[in-house]
Amino acid sequence: MQKRKKLSRRLVVKAGTAAMATTPLLTILGEQAWSAERISESHPTAVALGYVHDGSNVDASQNPTYKIDQRCDNCVQYSATSDGWGTCNIFPGFEVAGPGWCKVWVVKT
Ligand code: SF4
């Protein structure tokens, strides 16, 4: 019985040590998994939706609904990640620029 307690304690210590040792690795892997490719303005879906990295480059004649205060980072589809970029539900697996814009912009409430 006593031997079993020591074994359990040893396992707990080993498990704790292993967890502490792998936490930085998991953190790094987690960040890599989170990092999505930044969308290209030439991506077919981006072209179809008039996406641009910088909303000030929107061709207003082609996008009459565009307003200067419409940006990806205040769109309901956007979730910030880092460095002014974020994910967008319209472009799964990609990041879009915070100051960007596309034709399906909807204000985040
Ligand atoms: S849906 Fe919103 S967040 Fe996504 S690209 Fe268009 S404007 Fe940006």
Which CATH number fits the domain that encloses residue 43? 4.10.490.10
- Locate the ligand 1 atom nearest the alpha carbon of residue 88 and give its number: 4
Domain boundaries, position 56: 37-109
Q: Identify the band that residue 93 occupies on the pLDDT scale cut at 50, 70 and 90.
A: very high
CB of 74 shorter than 6 A to ligand 1: no
The more confident residue out of 65 and 16 is: 65
On whether the pTM is more than 0.85, the answer is no
39-55 pLDDT, tens per residue? 999 999 999 999 999 99
Instruction: Indicate if 42 and 5 belong to the same structural domain.
Output: no
The residue written with tokens 């991506």 in the block is 43
Say which DSSP state 101 is in: B
The tokens for 11 are 């396992």
Instruction: Indicate if 46 and 30 belong to the same structural domain.
Output: no
The residue written with tokens 């620029």 in the block is 97
Phi-psi region of 108 (alpha: psi -120 to 50; beta: other; left: phi over 0): beta
Instruction: Indicate if 75 and 94 belong to the same structural domain.
Output: yes
Q: How many separate domains does the chain show?
A: 2
Instruction: Indicate if 91 and 106 belong to the same structural domain.
Output: yes
Instruction: Indicate if 69 and 96 belong to the same structural domain.
Output: yes
Instruction: Indicate if 89 and 58 belong to the same structural domain.
Output: yes
